[in-house]
Amino acid sequence: MQRKKLIAGNWKMNGLLSDSKKLAQEIATAVKSAKPSCDVLVCPPFVLLTTIKKALRGSKVMLGAQDCSMFEKGAHTGDVSPYQLKDAGCDFVILGHSERRADHKESSALVKAKAEAALNAGLKVIICVGETLAERESGKALEVVEKQVKASLANGANASNTVIAYEPVWAIGTGKTATPQDAEEVHAHIRNVLVQKCSKAIASRMKILYGGSMKPSNAAELLKEPDIDGGLIGGASLKSEDFLEIIRKAN
């Protein structure tokens, strides 16, 4: 099954107006002229969304947020509704990132509720899963990831509205990357879990991204694995030349 690759930048809590606008413009301009065969997405912090939306205008680069509320509206101080994200021009929202699971004690059940709210609002979701170093060292990586996938996906998840990102926690921001073989083992396992949880047709079409210290020097070998359908990139998505180089490697 040929799946179109997706290269997504998770800017996390980085950037101020002027440098972020410049970054987005550089990406948009390069994507407009290079017309890569992969899809491209950037996910800035909430307050930058509308500015970045404008900066991306006229290009095919998509816009995403990094989290959303499970509620539509109301008395939820500090939270952002998926309907507000859709209204701001977002195509995607990242949910269940390990930093949110750790910093905000987000459970897979909460991630699932958020995913359902986001799908109802007309957004696509990227559901993040991944094991810690202790879990990997005790041989539990596949089991942990399987549990997270089963418990975090929305009812109604399909290949057009849901993307999974496998992000081993020990590889995020550490410079340590999973070997292509280790990553592929987990990706292939996730695809088998999707066969059981959804269907064979959905499992064969759903994109599974790798995230965790992906950079120009290791992107090509990761992206050539059969079940790695793109990348969710943190640090290297903050420099246009690095991000654009990864996009080139995905072609």
Q: Is the dihedral of CA 217, 39, 58, 162 positive or negative?
A: negative
164 forms bridges with which residues in the sheet? 127, 208
For 54, the token pair is: 């404008």
CA distance 165 to 161: 13
Q: Residue 232, interface with ligand 13P (CB under 6 A)?
A: yes
* Angle 60-230-243 from CA coordinates, rounded to 5°: 60
Stretch that binds ligand 13P, among 107-115, 154-162, 167-175, 240-248 (CB under 6 A): 167-175
Q: Residue 96, interface with ligand 13P (CB under 6 A)?
A: no
Place of tokens 């996009």: 247
Closest contact distance (angstroms) between CB of 213 and ligand 13P is: 4
The single residue among 44, 82, 211, 230 that binds ligand 13P, judged by CB under 6 A, is 211
Contact 51, 17 (CB under 8 A): yes
Instruction: Compare residues 82 and 212 and give the one whose CB is closer to ligand 13P.
Output: 212
**C-alpha 29 chain-centroid distance:** 22
Closest contact distance (angstroms) between CB of 55 and ligand 13P is: 21
The single residue among 5, 6, 7, 10 that binds ligand 13P, judged by CB under 6 A, is 10
Residues whose CB is less than 8 angstroms from the CB of residue 92 and which lie 6 or more positions away in sequence, other chains included:
8, 41, 43, 62, 63, 64, 65, 123, 124, 125, 126, 163
The 97-136 site mask, x for binding ligand 13P (CB under 6 A), equals x---------------------------------------
Q: Residue 42, interface with ligand 13P (CB under 6 A)?
A: no
Mind telling me the catalytic residues?
97, 167
Residues in contact with ligand 13P by the rule CB under 6 A: 10, 97, 167, 172-173, 211-214, 232-236
